[in-house]
Amino acid sequence: MNFPQASFKVSRKGYLYVVCAAMLWSVSGSTSKYLFLNGISPFQLSQIRVTISALLLFLFFLIRRPALLKISRNDIFYFFILGTFGMTAIQITYLFTISKLNVAAAILLEYLAPIFIALYMAVFAKEKLSRITMLAIIAATLGCYLVVGAYNLNLLNLNMTGIASGIASAVTFAWWSLHGEYGMRRYNPWTVLFYAMLFAAIDLNIIYPPLKGFFNVSSSAKWVIILYITVFGTIIPFGLYYEGISLIRAARASITATLEPIMAGVISYIFLDEIMSPLQIFGGVLVIAAIILLQIKQAYDDNTPSIIRARMNGN
């Protein structure tokens, strides 16, 4: 079967965006942990990174692309909900989890998100999941579990508050992915990201004393790390992830993003001399296999009439 070249180009571009986002997130998780070990709290880092991100995006759009700032008044409430229960919740729960658990466990818990997306699509959107999609979800989740070495973790010694926060981060990440996709039906992905950031910044300066986090940074070295996390761990990867969602949908993007723990393992191997076991390598192979399955499935769906797909699926 011959697939149109344009379909593959769009698919490759979407997956590339998400892979780049995962790569950047894999580095920012470890750098965030460093800040937590040196006097910065998760709430302070959340407030700082989101506030600066919203400001930088606003200034850039105002100067270069003012059209991206325009939204309908009727959608203000939508963006408020997306920023509050999406971006704000993700920042707090994910960073809090990293502060309570080791980075590997935190990443593992957040990347249960594809499971929650699949359940949402099946229960609320009434979308029947194909066998290939279900197999990809299972493979990605199992691969993520293996690659972070979670089988070596003693669950009885883990912080239960951190575990609960990690599960909450998976739920909020799944919710943010799905409802962000809804907004991109009408707006550019960067517009959706900016207003999510804006309302998250407002939230975090109400929940936490306004700008208090900024006054707790005591050294220029910490500011360099924070600015790195803001630009390369927040603005760029979140923007790339939304661009990816607009091209390959939330379910595929969330599964592809499970490359993050693989990349985190590679980074720790290079810079921290942490050797990956055979099981961890096998987990990486599973995640890559899941992504390949999704790419094949997307190409098939895009180029096969729906009635033929239904018959082949037994409907």
DSSP string of 258-277, one letter each residue: THHHHHHHHHHHHHH-PPPP
- pLDDT, tens digit (0-9, with 9 covering 90-100), for 241-292: 888 877 877 667 767 777 777 776 676 666 656 566 787 778 777 877 776 6
Residues 58/194, Cβ–Cβ less than 8 Å: yes
Distance CA 234, CA 260 (A): 14
Residue-level pLDDT at 6: 47
Residue-level pLDDT at 150: 67
Residue-level pLDDT at 123: 76
Of 197, 191, 264, the residue nearest 235 (C-alpha): 197
The token pair at 242 is 């939304």
DSSP string of 70-104, one letter each residue: ---GGGHHHHHHHIIIIIIHHHHHHHHHHHHS-HH
Under-50 pLDDT residues of the chain: 1-6, 8, 156, 305-315
Cβ neighbour number for residue 77 with a 10 Å cutoff? 9
Residues 299/3, Cβ–Cβ less than 8 Å: yes
Residue-level pLDDT at 148: 65
The token pair at 245 is 């969602």
Residue-level pLDDT at 294: 67
- pLDDT, tens digit (0-9, with 9 covering 90-100), for 75-91: 999 999 999 999 999 99
Please report, for the chain, the start and end positions of each structural domain, with discontinuous segments joined by +. Answer: 15-312
The token pair at 94 is 């994910």
